[in-house]
Structures are given as C-alpha cells and as structure tokens.
Structure 1
Amino acid sequence: MARKVEICGVDTSTLPIYKNEEMRQYFSAFQNGDSDAREKLVYGNLRLVLSVIQRFSHRNENPDDLFQVGCIGLLKSIDNFDLGQNVRFSTYAVPMIIGEIRRHLRDNNPIRVSRSLRDTAYKSLQAKEALLAETSKEPSIEDVAKRTGIPVEDIVFALDAIQDPVSLFEPVYQDGGDAVFVMDQIKDNRVSDEKWIEDLSIKNGMDELDERERLILQNRFFNGKTQMEVAEEIGISQAQVSRLEKGAIRQLNKFFY
C-alpha cells in the first residue's frame, strides 16, 4: 500500500504512475482533441512538479505558490510537447517547469537587478562553464574576463548582483544541538544589539530634524561645543540654541520609545 504524503494539498499516494507507452497514448489522444486525456496527463505528472519544487526549498518561498507556478509550466509543456521527437516527456517538461518557477522568483524578487547586469552575469557564467569543460579546472575571474572581453570589476559586480539574498537567521550548521545561524558568523561582539539599535534610532531621528537642529546637536554632543560657541557660529542667541536643542532632543526621544 502506498504511503500517504501530502504536499501542497496533493495526496501523492493517489497520483497515477504511467509507463512511457501509456503517456504516448494519452498524448496522441489529447492532440486529437480528447480533453480528458489532457486532464489525465496533468494529474499523472504532478509528481514532476512536486519533485522540482523541492529544489527550491532553500528559498523559503511558499510551497503552494511554487506548486501553482510549476503547474503552469507543466501545462505549457503538455500543450507544446512534440510526439515526433524521440524524447521522454519528463526530460522535456522538467526544464520548462524549472524555468517557469525561476521566472516567477525573478519577477517577485524584492531586489531588482537590471537587465544589463543579468546579461553580464549570464555571459560570464556561460564562459566559465565553457572554460571548465575545455581545461577541466576551475577558471579564474581573469580567465573569464579574457574570454568575454568584459572587465574583471564588471564581472564580479554582476555575479554578486544575481546572488540570492540570505536571511541572517538562515541556519548554516546544526549537529543535534542548537543551530548556528548566518548572524552568528558575521556579528561583531564589540557592538551589542542594543547599541546597534540605539545608533540606528539616533540616525533615523537626526534625519527627521531640520538642518539647523541637526547642526546644533552635532556641535553640542559630537563636537563638544558649548551653547555659547554654537550660538556664535550660527548667529543666534544662546537662549535660542538652548530652546532648539531641547526641542530637537524631544524629537529624538520619539524614536526610542
């Protein structure tokens, strides 16, 4: 008895498994106008979609969303499959499903990368693969630059730009105990989280002040000047400096509470 595994609301134990000859028969029927055959092809190949979305599990994307997008790729591959080509359907469909999911991820990526940067990155990756095949060793960035005619700096920048963002809470190691996260490897123990938040709050608060208020606080608390010295510098009375300083501090306090 098949073990029940439910993914994205699909009970995999109920999915049919067709042999290659059965698949060809269904495709022949579908291409002759049998809509029921198309439905059988979709239902019988959902395992392809489920297997593909497992490759993207590290992206922390909603698996239901990826499954729906993958099904779009499956439908496209069914509608465009050519029986005359001597190739298994899965061989044809998987790249189309992957392509549809990657297109979805690219279009919904919160970090937008320009087309020119993507083109540079993909040309560099293609050149890297070609050099690897020719020499059987990992090519350097300089080798890739020489092959493509693109400056080294542009290649490095483009390749960095297409990297997927990583969460600070992404686990990088776990051996039966507490996980080690990305933030554990990059954090600076010399600066506490509280100090970092405090500095960020001050910066955000200072950005909300007008130019004169920022100048007064900068001179008073960062440059160590007296109210009288600040007054002489900006051409107002010491009483005005005191009043503006108190008002600016009250404004800053809003960012701490």
Structure 2
Amino acid sequence: MKVNVEREKQKGTLTNEQVKEYILKSQQGDRQARDLLVEKNVRLVWSVVQRFINRGYDPEDLFQIGSIGLIKSIDKFDLSYDVRFSTYAVPMIIGEIQRFIRDDGSLKVSRTIKETANKIRIKKDELTKQLGRSPTVYEVADALDLTAEEVSHAQEASKSPHSIHETVFENDGDPITLLDQIADKDGSWFDKLTLEEAIRDLSERERLIVYLRYYKDKTQSEVAERLGISQVQVSRLEKKILHDMKSRMKR
C-alpha cells in the first residue's frame, strides 16, 4: 500500500503497517517520512519525559534529548521484528535521556538524602578510627539513629547512576548486561513492559539488591554484609526478585 506523506500529516494516528512503511522510507533517506514519524510520536516522547520531570531539568530540554532517541529508534528499528515501533522506541528514548542526565553530572538527589549521605560518610570515618576497621551498616545506623536500609539507600542514592545496558561481566569476550540476565531469550516480554518499569515496581531494598548484584557485581556474601542479613536470605530474595520481575514482564 502506498501512502502520501502530506495527506497523512492531516490525519491522526498511523496504523502499524503505515508506521513500518514510513520507517522503511526514512531508512532509505526520505526526510519527509522521518519528519512525519517524529511528528506523530511527539506524545510518546512527552510521556517518557514525564518520568524525569522532578530531576531538576527543563522539560523542553529533556524533550529535545528524547527526540534524539526517537530518531535513533527510527534509524535502527529492524523491520523484521514482530513488535510495535513504540515498544522498541520507548527504551531508546529513556536511554538517551538517562545518558544525558548521567553525562550532565548525576541524577538529582534531594537535599535531605545528600545531607544524610554526608553525615554517614563523616560517621563512618569516625567509627573506622575508633574500631580500627570499617564499621558495618548496622553500626553506622545505630550511631546516627537510622535504620540499616536508610543508610544503604542514602549511600547508593548519592552515587552516580548506572545503565541497565552497562556490562556486568564478559563471557569469552562477549559483554553481558543486566538486560541479558533478566530478559527471556525470545524477547517476547518486551511487548508488555520495559525492564526499567519492572525495576521501578521493586521495593527500595529489592532495588538495592539488584543494584549491588548486577550493577556493582557484588557477591551474595558482600550484599549480605552490606544489608546486615545472611547470605541465604540474599539468595532467596534475589531468586524472588528475578522471578517477580519476569512475571511482570510477561503480563
């Protein structure tokens, strides 16, 4: 079916078939087709931008960055995939915005968390001198009248963010990411829910376990010491977290 760019600009939403035809035209160098796809996906970009509104950045700036991600998704979309373009585009747009925020410095952290993290750092230095060793999370928490989870959260929140696409380890030279670890082999979950959304549904402690295990490549024993629980508990929690995430992705 042939489509006319100028005519479609006057219409509403494009069908999936039309979207793919315009993507093909765009990838073949048709600027009008690309411009139309960008125009028709403005709301998609804004919907992603809403997730980052309270990070201290101008929404218009984030929209411009998100639009770059949209254009990249148009250029890179594999037409042989049996997925909707929006399903592929959303993670690309999110990734572009996250890279911008990371390169700009770090995700904006509230003043309260920053102050808590600074108090923790000072108290850890004091306790290290007193004890002759690094204090445990519980020792720092007791000294500051905080919970162990509050200490862990403040410490991790004040660090630079990491991407789900960063390499966790390499297998015979091939980089393995968190995305590879959790995603099903056939990738069918991608039609339902992005990995970022699944992570966002986790509790603070569960997100911390995922961060330490897959972003920081910590052992279960190291995570257990960090959280003040046993290695067996970490193992059980990790299995439950991955199971729950996969279940959400398949809904």
TM value normalised by structure 2: 0.42
Q: Which has the higher contact order (CA 8 A, sep 6+)?
A: 2
TM value normalised by structure 1: 0.41
Structure having the higher Rg = 1
